[in-house]
A = this chain, B = another copy of it.
Amino acid sequence: MFDKKLGILVWNEGVHEAQNQPTTMAEMYPDGIHGALANSLKSFFPASEVTTATLAEEEHGLSEERLATTDVLLWWGHKAHEDVSDEVVRRVHRHVLSGMGLVVLHSGHRAKIFTKLLGTSCSLNWRNDGERELVWTVKPSHPVAAGVESPIIIPQQEMYGELFDIPEPDDLIFISSFEGGEVFRSGVTFSRGKGRIFYFSPGDQEYPVYHQPQVQRVLANGVDWVAQPEAPRSLPEVKKSPRDWFTTDQSAK
């Protein structure tokens, strides 16, 4: 249980849900993937406000006002990355650089916001054969690994394999292996501007991964870790600074 009071916004493109595709979707995630994630986070963060938004909403539910009160944005997308407006992506990007936390999930690795923040293609190898995934902790001292067993066993999962074209992460917390022998850096952090980012790959529209308690714990840890509710939301900017600018408004502190 986390006692922070956060504004947590779970964003999902919502296309698999709208199409009930795969046909197990409605049964597996009756409230959508975003609903399942939000329900889980509510139980971890009882003092926080957890809401959801989808692609179909006006401005994808990611207006300036909405983001201004969001401490942590979670992002799930898969089929409709290209339908996210560039203006909204720029807005989210600005908020992350200004201090908003971002948790990117699974196929969100190809979301515009993720590739824009990382600067790389974020491409990978994949195969959907329902293989077992094992998620191994390699940085046990990191807050995101707290209370997490190693390995987490995911009975069936889409395979994501290296080469995962991401920059060197600030922290490599989890590495996954798959039955076929591939490996994947499945839990990684980045800082961009004043914001923190956590990417976690387990989770898919075909498997009930987000119902696993250990996966939920990782995501709660991730939300807690990227959140900076007390930090002023301000963008790093080019500033011309006269000599000794820092002594004019400061005494020894």
Contact = CB atoms under 8 A, between A and B. Distances in A.
A214 interface: yes
Given A147-B230, A154-B252, A126 B193 contact: no
22 contacts: A110-B238, A125-B240, A126-B239, A127-B241, A134-B246, A136-B163, A136-B182, A137-B162, A137-B163, A142-B191, A146-B228, A151-B246, A153-B252, A154-B252, A161-B241, A163-B236, A167-B167, A168-B172, A168-B191, A177-B181, A180-B243, A180-B244
A15 to B, nearest CB: 19
Contacts of A252: 153-155, 212
Interface of A: 97, 99, 110, 116-121, 123-127, 129, 131-132, 134, 136-142, 146-147, 149-155, 159, 161-165, 167-168, 170-172, 175-177, 179-183, 185, 190-196, 212-214, 228, 230-231, 235-244, 246-247, 250-253
A192 B120 contact: yes
Classify the interface of chain A: helix, strand, loop or mixed: loop
A147 to B, nearest CB: 7
Contacts of A118: 119
Contacts of A236: 120-121, 123, 163, 165
Interface-centre pick from A118, A132, A151, A231 (highest chain B CB count, 10 A): A151
Contact of A119 (B119, B151, B152): B119
A195 B121 CA distance: 12
Q: Count identical subunits in the complex.
A: 4
8 cross-chain pairs, A with B, having the tightest CB-CB distances, nearest first: A165-B236, A214-B253, A119-B119, A177-B177, A123-B238, A117-B119, A141-B191, A125-B241
Nearest to A163: B236
Nearest to A250: B153
A156 to B, nearest CB: 9
A76 to B, nearest CB: 18
B153 A138 contact: no
A63 to B, nearest CB: 22
B177 A138 contact: no
Contacts of A242: 127
A177 to B, nearest CB: 4
Interface-centre pick from A140, A171, A179 (highest chain B CB count, 10 A): A140
